[in-house]
Structure 1
Amino acid sequence: MSTLYINVIGKKAGSCSMLYFFACFLLLSCSKKTNPTPPKLPDITQEGKNTFGCYVDGTLWLPTNRFELYPTRLCVRYDDTQRLNITCWRDNTITGKRGNDIIEINIQNITGTGTYDLTNAARVSCYIRLGNETSPLSVPTVTKGALTITRFDRAKNIVSGQFAFTIKNNDTNVIHEATEGRFDLQFDFCM
């Protein structure tokens, strides 16, 4: 039969071991902490990196994944009617706000690089909805804006460019301004 012996350390030894434990704890907790890099607009590129960003009303706006059941955050379509559609979502549960943000740009007659006027309601619609704003019953009016396409490559399905616009929701009179917008996208892409 084996016997179990327990060695009880005296008070003085116990105090030293507690001091040793506390010193180790302090040393381990003093590791250099790095601050995460704050989010920023994506670089202006023309490689089909599937990036999108802008400032909306002066606040940085980047797409993030939507809710779990529908995880898409960015969709780009270009069809045979020469219509370009860019739709982006941002999940506000990250920021603690309610609802999701949406930015959508639809423009017809895109045939190549150049600057396109976004105030032409006959061929353009732009949409910004932040959080739990009510969705407009009518298409918002673009009061000023332009979209410049710097790369339009049908062979590689890449569209890149920059944009800025101001819209007014005709139902609620809410005005939103998108500035310093940039995108580098692949056609027919959703992620």
Structure 2
Amino acid sequence: MQRIYIPVLVIIVTIAAACKKNNSTTNDPNNVPGLPPATQIGANTFGCLVNGVPWVPQGSNGTNNLSIDYDPGFNNGIFSISAQRILSVNQTTSIGIGIRDSLNFVTPPKKYILSRNSLFGVYYHDFNGCMFGYFDSTISKEGWLLISTYNKNNGIISGTFEATLIKNACDTIRITKGRFDFKF
């Protein structure tokens, strides 16, 4: 009888040892496969879904594929983000976000609504020749930008964004689950 217990015990111990605790964050709504986590620590990250496909900066053409421009002295503190996805010389996609409003007086969370005349702008340019410029009046824009962290002392700005851009003769661009987290 003991001979049966030993092999069964060995099998149970082996199976138990092979099991790992699931530490994944798949139930976290902010966790999106293919995108960086939505952090607020100055991690220098940017990502979003473009028409449902993960989009993060990558590649290089001699310039940075991700940059933030923050000027606390101009117009009482403006900022913009520029991100590029460079797959090859002829396959570059760019996404930009900018605020022309004063950041020096912002207390997070602060939400900016995107419209044709808003202080928040977004651009998108793809290698198929469709360009959705900041100030292009032929574009229909909807969306928002939420600044969740703005810490001047530690030089951190982070937030989330979404936008839908529509232009004749171009595919509609739906930017969702957008997140950024920068040290400036």
Normalised to the residue count of structure 2, the TM-score between the two structures is 0.69
2:78 aligns to what? Answer: 83
After superposition, the Cα gap between the structure-2 partners of 1:142 and 1:163, relative to the gap in structure 1 and judged at 3 Å, is farther
Which 10-residue stretch deviates more, 104-113 or 84-93?
A: 104-113
After superposition, the Cα gap between the structure-2 partners of 1:142 and 1:101, relative to the gap in structure 1 and judged at 3 Å, is same
Task: Tell me the CA shift for residue 173 of structure 1.
Answer: 4.6
Task: Tell me the CA shift for residue 136 of structure 1.
Answer: 5.3
Q: Kindly provide the amino acid, as one letter, of the partner of residue 128 in structure 1.
A: Y
Out of 115, 122, 143, the position equivalent to 1:119 is 115
1:42 aligns to what? Answer: 36
| Conserved? CA contact 2:59–2:65, under 8 Å | yes
| Conserved? CA contact 2:163–2:176, under 8 Å | yes
Q: Kindly provide the amino acid, as one letter, of the partner of residue 163 in structure 2.
A: F
Out of 139, 142, 148, the position equivalent to 1:141 is 139
Check if 1:92 corresponds to 2:84.
Answer: no
Unmatched segments (≥5 aa) in structure 1 = 1-38
Rounded Cα–Cα distance in structure 2 between residues aligned with 1:142 and 1:186: 32
Check if 1:175 corresponds to 2:169.
Answer: no
Rounded Cα–Cα distance in structure 1 between residues aligned with 2:174 and 2:146: 17
Higher Rg: 1
After superposition, the Cα gap between the structure-2 partners of 1:128 and 1:156, relative to the gap in structure 1 and judged at 3 Å, is same
State the Cα RMSD in Å. 2.2
Unmatched segments (≥5 aa) in structure 2 = 1-32
Which 10-residue stretch deviates more, 73-82 or 43-52?
A: 73-82
After superposition, the Cα gap between the structure-2 partners of 1:141 and 1:186, relative to the gap in structure 1 and judged at 3 Å, is farther
1:51 aligns to what? Answer: 45
1:185 aligns to what? Answer: 182
SS of alignment partner, residue 92 of structure 1: strand
SS of alignment partner, residue 125 of structure 1: strand
| Conserved? CA contact 2:78–2:99, under 8 Å | yes
Normalised to the residue count of structure 1, the TM-score between the two structures is 0.67
Q: Kindly provide the amino acid, as one letter, of the partner of residue 78 in structure 1.
A: Y
How many residue pairs get aligned? The number is 143
